[in-house]
Chains A and B, each alone.
Chain A
């Protein structure tokens, strides 16, 4: 740029200088300084006792800027006031400062630029800086170069100021940097690549097309982005045109450079002289402060041109003391080099201050040690405290003997008690008063978001350990460490691990040694890929000479490469799955339609190029994992499942292909490795209900070797798979049963044929199965020990049970009669109440005595099993209750029974039990199912009250049938309720369920029996129990584990659907009740 036409240039310059404008984006748009910035904007944080904004003004004033627009978003009033009070607004300076308050919706610099555009305040080329700049670069020179370039090249719209520094530099952020690809001649920026510290970037990608026009380019990874841009007028309008530009570098620069349409160019100004740095994070806060103290920013130094207007005396060793004798230094205190001490500060005896900045009016008491500490105004550091590499907000009081380790941020007005011990990188802020919190909530939503974090912090303040950290009498709250919950939503740069690279810190140690960081990380990563290629080399090699015997070694070495491939795949898949989960989360939270969600998933699948099965797995997994586990409440659990499946189940078939068999398999395998294993049966039932899978599908699945877990290694996983398969077996047996029973029950068909009636019946039957199982489990807990005692006791209990059981064997449908009656009363929702009861019981310690009762209760269940109702209660509180629940129940039930008796309905139903009355009840039941579903739903919602009544009534019925066993009665009502809900078409199922038990082998009593084995028990539970009576039930119960109980729940889910059917069957069951008694007796005898 030789001054050819100096005269004309000068003229130009003078012309344009008149309007040299600058825009300061005085908001950081991030939270790196929290909690220091809760309560004031970052640009008002003091750096060397002058606010950042002042430093920025000073930098701009040096450049001859005459009109400054300050765009502020958070705490605009404070910024305004600060500007008004600062020396810059004195008219004598000739600097025109206009503060622009932008809306809270301004989340990015891009938004701010759009705001600027709409305001139309920019009239010519302008300087754009962030509000955290400390610089002595001659920006006017940059402006001149920029204008010069503009004269010949109208497309050069922006000039970025960069400073060569080297890769590692204390003002170069480790967490966020960039690679600039420049034309060596013209400094035109040809490519901009943003680099995040963590996760480490592996490769910089340079588009080859730029080589066509620029054969010699420079790739520079050594530049500090000073954050000073000289922009042309059209820059704001470009932001306006591209509404998605957020970040000036990553979006705008990158966008402009990669755009084929814009044809604009961006240049860099490589500042060879001068200092410029942004205080973008606490780490750079530290290094910029050091640079100021070390006079790199000259002429912007504390003893001259201090932007805050303070005057300091510069003493050898780069110590700065406020002039005017206001600083009181004790005779024995030590002030090391690179320190700045503000006016009015007292430093007591033996205090040791190294490389620290201390604000005005601070008090440093005796024996305090400060190393690399930044203390804002009016702070008070108690005697004997030791603080290192930290920032202490204004008006903070640190108690005596406190220790603050490196990297801590202490917010304004915090009071730390005596002997507080802040660990590394703690952040504390003042606990707010309630009213204050509300106030700030109202103030603006921006603060709200920060409040969420604050509240989170507040929420966890109760623990003692916190007090240990902040000391007695502190008003502080400790902010949570570690990544935030909503980490995923954050920009990559702002994520926790990356932010760790930006914290104030001992410069030489490693900032985050545990992070697989940058360079090491990159290398290892690249190594991984390297190894791959190397290994593939070897492979190739091996192939080439495979004829020779030497190839073996090569092959063996090549396997790692293969593993890496699979690892890659796995990683890709897990990423995909995470995406699906997120997508579903969104869909869920925002209530998308299934179609929309499906579209989104399809897109994801395309993007990730995963096989359809993976999508299905992901969807099924997401749905399953999203089902809430309701401990101890089978009904609620079932409700949860049916809600979830009903809402999202259809999605499974909309992801691009319908393959129900695979769906089941996927579900099975997912459940097998999930904590929701016990829900498998129920979910499957729910799918069945929603017609997502058909009976044939279940059968087809069941027949597949994969379903049996063949080929799997013998692990718990395989076992779980097997368990699921057994649940399937049970279901299929139910199907079979249903079919057969349908055939058998041809007489009843009049009712049954109407699907609703059938289903309920089936449901009840299933429910019964479930209950039986549960009951058996209950027994199991207590059972083993008690066996001796139990038998005697049990025998009593069994007697009734056996009766029921005996009834069952004759025909599954018969037992249902009792339930049917109960159903009539529509007490289906009794489950809730029962559950409660059971829970209460659970509270009672599980003692042998308790177990005995439970055993008895189980037996009733067994007896009930034929009639189908009993399983329900157990299902509700499967694991918890089992043994203990039993004892309590009887009593309550008894009470209830008395009450129940009062209820006329119940009594009415009782008659139904008898064979004679069967027919009428059956009819009734069949009718009920139709209405029942809706009612059931409403009833369910109503809760326990209804259920209690129902139960009672049911109980009565049961008790009448078999008076000795009240529990059994209780259980029956539940079953009926369960069945009532799902209006599903499963008539046949219920029946089958009832019948299945018979077919199933008797459960093995051994205590070591695992869930898997129990399943058979469960399956058999209903059938066998009915036929075999109490013995089997006991045996099974002894071994049963809680998990089994939960699996049973799932069955119940099915059974619930079928309960209506039971009602239909109920006609027959009435007869059965009598029979069961007989059988029960026989069984008891056997056991004994």
Chain B
């Protein structure tokens, strides 16, 4: 079996994965502190697996070995515990995870660019930025993105490859309006044929001109047939050359990778001035022979994008066109269509819930297998096959669970009715409670015969007996008069 390991060792140093884990303010109150204990976003479970599992598994599947995991300092302990725990060690045996924390108190507004700059000295090779909340579908292996990057970086000097996915139309009835706070999908101009990202509509630009989107004519000359899509979402997965970091250092003002840096990174490919200014940084001269010739003769090679390619057979001949530059400085884009599998970033309550439901619909009857846990579930409880119940969770008799995820170590009383809920670990639900479409944070206690509909509770929240809530966010801080807590949601959403 040794020979299986050898090839993976060779590829180890090719990429470094930078996994960014943030506070998850968009997911409040789930990510609010439970007393003094933080609830790290990265460890929020999706169908009873911490969401960090998904990107890590994705990375591992593509042969990545080195992971730089960056999380907020307060989360460090719990994340570290998770990494060293049995479960992750067994699931990601080949990953070498370097956990680094950034201090939140030091710099209150820690932008992703700043993080990257701060940890740049730890990045010596081409790297992949992955958020902790991107839940990739099985139909989209990371290697697809990596391969595109590998090809284009060597073939025509691409500098980065991004991943966008089509956002399915949100089901407006499933979740209350208040849950939806995530950023609307951005408008993206890209060249479908060559898979090139050309322009990302940034919030700044929208502020500048809310009526019209200005596209550089040089862009349109180089890519005369480009697509403008308003329904694509940035997966925040970026495969970049190491040199990109050097440019990032020259742009100290950039704060957000997604909203500022990547849109800017698209410009040198058609803007000659930026090309001349940053080209040597992005694509320094090197002695490595170009693989171009080899690739051109590769049968698998589908032909690399030439913007000037004639598009129809019966057209009179083209004029001579000046040859393009040797290095295109392109930013590639992989677009994942909704039809090819559900994808989302679990960075809003809505997508979090939808992801849970999505995975529930994929699985079949996921009750704990071990007998000990099984014994805790009353045989008279009705649990439909599209539900999931965690380990050592006790379910009382005549309890009805449908389309729901029940975490570990929960206690669910008798005659409880749970429909379409996500119940995190250590929750206690008393007899006769009715829950519909709720998300309960860890350690939530629900009183006898209380009814919750489309509510979210902060970790440790206690719902009194017989209480009735609908469409509420229930926070510990002001649980006497539950209100929507919008104050915490000001920080950046893409601070993973």
B220 touches A219 (CB 8 A): yes
A217 touches B316 (CB 8 A): no
| Among candidates A171, A212, A526, residue contacting B271 with C-beta atoms closer than 8 Å | A526
User: In the docked arrangement, what's the CA distance between A200 and B316, Å?
Assistant: 26
A166 touches B311 (CB 8 A): yes
A219 touches B215 (CB 8 A): yes
Q: Known interface pairs A215-B230, A216-B231. Does A203 touch B216 (Cβ–Cβ under 8 Å)?
A: yes
A202 touches B316 (CB 8 A): no
A221 touches B220 (CB 8 A): yes
Write the nearest CB–CB distance from A103 to chain B, whole angstroms. 38
Which residues does chain A contribute within 8 Å of B292, judged by CB atoms?
none
Q: Known interface pairs A215-B230, A522-B218. Does A273 touch B211 (Cβ–Cβ under 8 Å)?
A: no
Check A507 for interface membership: any CB of B closer than 8 A.
yes
Which residues does chain A contribute within 8 Å of B320, judged by CB atoms?
508
Check B96 for interface membership: any CB of A closer than 8 A.
no
A518 touches B221 (CB 8 A): yes
A208 touches B318 (CB 8 A): no
Contact with B along A1022-1035 (1 / 0, CB 8 A): 00000000000000
B225 touches A541 (CB 8 A): no
Which residues does chain A contribute within 8 Å of B315, judged by CB atoms?
163-165, 169, 275, 296
A544 touches B252 (CB 8 A): yes
Check A527 for interface membership: any CB of B closer than 8 A.
yes
Contact with B along A209-238 (1 / 0, CB 8 A): 101101111111110000000000000000
Closest residue of chain B to A528 (Cβ to Cβ) is B273
Contact with B along A166-208 (1 / 0, CB 8 A): 1111110000000101001000000000010000111111111
B271 touches A211 (CB 8 A): no
B271 touches A527 (CB 8 A): yes
User: In the docked arrangement, what's the CA distance between A167 and B267, Å?
Assistant: 19
A221 touches B225 (CB 8 A): yes
| Among candidates B215, B221, B230, B309, residue contacting A519 with C-beta atoms closer than 8 Å | B221
A207 touches B231 (CB 8 A): no
Q: Known interface pairs A211-B228, A508-B320. Does A527 touch B272 (Cβ–Cβ under 8 Å)?
A: yes
Closest residue of chain B to A288 (Cβ to Cβ) is B316
Check B308 for interface membership: any CB of A closer than 8 A.
yes
Residue of B206, B210, B252, B313 with most partner-chain A CB within 10 A: B252
Check B213 for interface membership: any CB of A closer than 8 A.
yes
Q: Known interface pairs A217-B227, A523-B218, A523-B271. Does A207 touch B319 (Cβ–Cβ under 8 Å)?
A: no
Which residues does chain B contribute within 8 Å of A540, judged by CB atoms?
253
Which residues does chain A contribute within 8 Å of B274, judged by CB atoms?
527, 530
A166 touches B221 (CB 8 A): no
Q: Known interface pairs A218-B225, A220-B225, A540-B253. Does A526 touch B218 (Cβ–Cβ under 8 Å)?
A: yes
Check B4 for interface membership: any CB of A closer than 8 A.
no
B273 touches A274 (CB 8 A): no
Write the nearest CB–CB distance from A603 to chain B, whole angstroms. 23
Q: Known interface pairs A164-B312, A168-B318, A204-B220. Does A222 touch B225 (Cβ–Cβ under 8 Å)?
A: yes
Binding site secondary structure of chain B: mixed
Which residues does chain B contribute within 8 Å of A214, judged by CB atoms?
230
Check A4 for interface membership: any CB of B closer than 8 A.
no
User: In the docked arrangement, what's the CA distance between A216 and B227, Å?
Assistant: 7
Contact with A along B298-315 (1 / 0, CB 8 A): 000000000111111111
Q: Known interface pairs A219-B189, A219-B226, A527-B271. Does A204 touch B316 (Cβ–Cβ under 8 Å)?
A: no
Closest residue of chain A to B320 (Cβ to Cβ) is A508
A205 touches B213 (CB 8 A): yes
User: In the docked arrangement, what's the CA distance between A526 and B224, Å?
Assistant: 18
Check B187 for interface membership: any CB of A closer than 8 A.
yes
Check B375 for interface membership: any CB of A closer than 8 A.
no
B217 touches A201 (CB 8 A): yes
Closest residue of chain A to B209 (Cβ to Cβ) is A205
Which residues does chain B contribute within 8 Å of A220, judged by CB atoms?
224-225
Which residues does chain A contribute within 8 Å of B319, judged by CB atoms?
168-170, 507-508
Write the nearest CB–CB distance from A534 to chain B, whole angstroms. 8
Closest residue of chain A to B275 (Cβ to Cβ) is A523
Closest residue of chain A to B205 (Cβ to Cβ) is A208
Closest residue of chain A to B272 (Cβ to Cβ) is A523
Check B10 for interface membership: any CB of A closer than 8 A.
no
Which residues does chain B contribute within 8 Å of A166, judged by CB atoms?
224, 308-311, 318
Contact with B along A289-312 (1 / 0, CB 8 A): 011001010000000000000000
B231 touches A215 (CB 8 A): yes
Write the nearest CB–CB distance from A240 to chain B, whole angstroms. 30
User: In the docked arrangement, what's the CA distance between A527 and B316, Å?
Assistant: 34
Contact with B along A248-291 (1 / 0, CB 8 A): 00000000000000000000000011110000000000010011
Q: Known interface pairs A211-B187, A221-B220, A291-B316. Does A206 touch B273 (Cβ–Cβ under 8 Å)?
A: no
Write the nearest CB–CB distance from B82 to chain A, whole angstroms. 36
Check B481 for interface membership: any CB of A closer than 8 A.
no
Check B251 for interface membership: any CB of A closer than 8 A.
yes
User: In the docked arrangement, what's the CA distance between A291 and B228, Å?
Assistant: 33
Binding site secondary structure of chain A: mixed
B273 touches A523 (CB 8 A): yes
User: In the docked arrangement, what's the CA distance between A218 and B309, Å?
Assistant: 17
Write the nearest CB–CB distance from A269 to chain B, whole angstroms. 13
Check B229 for interface membership: any CB of A closer than 8 A.
yes
Check A443 for interface membership: any CB of B closer than 8 A.
no
Write the nearest CB–CB distance from A546 to chain B, whole angstroms. 12
Write the nearest CB–CB distance from B220 to chain A, whole angstroms. 4
Check B1 for interface membership: any CB of A closer than 8 A.
no
User: In the docked arrangement, what's the CA distance between A456 and B309, Å?
Assistant: 47
Which residues does chain B contribute within 8 Å of A520, judged by CB atoms?
272
| Among candidates B217, B277, B312, B318, residue contacting A204 with C-beta atoms closer than 8 Å | B217
A206 touches B271 (CB 8 A): no
User: In the docked arrangement, what's the CA distance between A200 and B313, Å?
Assistant: 30
User: In the docked arrangement, what's the CA distance between A184 and B229, Å?
Assistant: 10
Closest residue of chain B to A137 (Cβ to Cβ) is B314
Check B212 for interface membership: any CB of A closer than 8 A.
yes
Check B321 for interface membership: any CB of A closer than 8 A.
yes
Closest residue of chain A to B278 (Cβ to Cβ) is A534
Check A32 for interface membership: any CB of B closer than 8 A.
no
User: In the docked arrangement, what's the CA distance between A523 and B271, Å?
Assistant: 6
User: In the docked arrangement, what's the CA distance between A40 and B206, Å?
Assistant: 52
Which residues does chain A contribute within 8 Å of B210, judged by CB atoms?
208
A275 touches B316 (CB 8 A): yes
| Those of A131-170 within 8 Å (CB) of chain B | 163-170
| Among candidates A179, A208, A519, residue contacting B187 with C-beta atoms closer than 8 Å | A208
Check A537 for interface membership: any CB of B closer than 8 A.
yes
Which residues does chain B contribute within 8 Å of A219, judged by CB atoms?
189, 215, 220, 225-228
Closest residue of chain B to A533 (Cβ to Cβ) is B264
Check A531 for interface membership: any CB of B closer than 8 A.
yes
Check A108 for interface membership: any CB of B closer than 8 A.
no
Which residues does chain A contribute within 8 Å of B215, judged by CB atoms?
203-206, 219
Which residues does chain A contribute within 8 Å of B321, judged by CB atoms?
168
Closest residue of chain B to A542 (Cβ to Cβ) is B252
Which residues does chain B contribute within 8 Å of A216, judged by CB atoms?
227-231
User: In the docked arrangement, what's the CA distance between A274 and B314, Å?
Assistant: 6
Check A524 for interface membership: any CB of B closer than 8 A.
yes
Closest residue of chain B to A218 (Cβ to Cβ) is B227
Which residues does chain B contribute within 8 Å of A518, judged by CB atoms?
217, 221
A195 touches B308 (CB 8 A): no
User: In the docked arrangement, what's the CA distance between A534 and B310, Å?
Assistant: 36
- What is the interface of chain A, defined by CB distance below 8 A to chain B? 163-171, 179, 181, 184, 195, 200-209, 211-212, 214-222, 272-275, 287, 290-291, 294, 296, 507-508, 518-520, 522-524, 526-527, 530-531, 534, 537, 540-541, 544-545
- What is the interface of chain B, defined by CB distance below 8 A to chain A? 187, 189, 206, 209-218, 220-222, 224-231, 251-253, 267, 271-274, 277, 307-321
Shortest Cβ-Cβ A-B pairs, 9 listed: A527-B273, A222-B224, A221-B224, A205-B212, A211-B230, A203-B214, A215-B231, A221-B220, A296-B316
A-B pairs with beta carbons under 8 Å apart, 7 shown? A216-B229, A291-B316, A523-B218, A526-B217, A537-B252, A537-B253, A544-B252
Q: A507-B319, A530-B273 are in contact. List 17 more A-B contacts (CB 8 A).
A: A165-B315, A165-B318, A170-B318, A203-B214, A204-B217, A205-B213, A207-B213, A216-B231, A218-B226, A219-B220, A272-B314, A275-B316, A518-B221, A522-B221, A527-B273, A530-B271, A537-B251
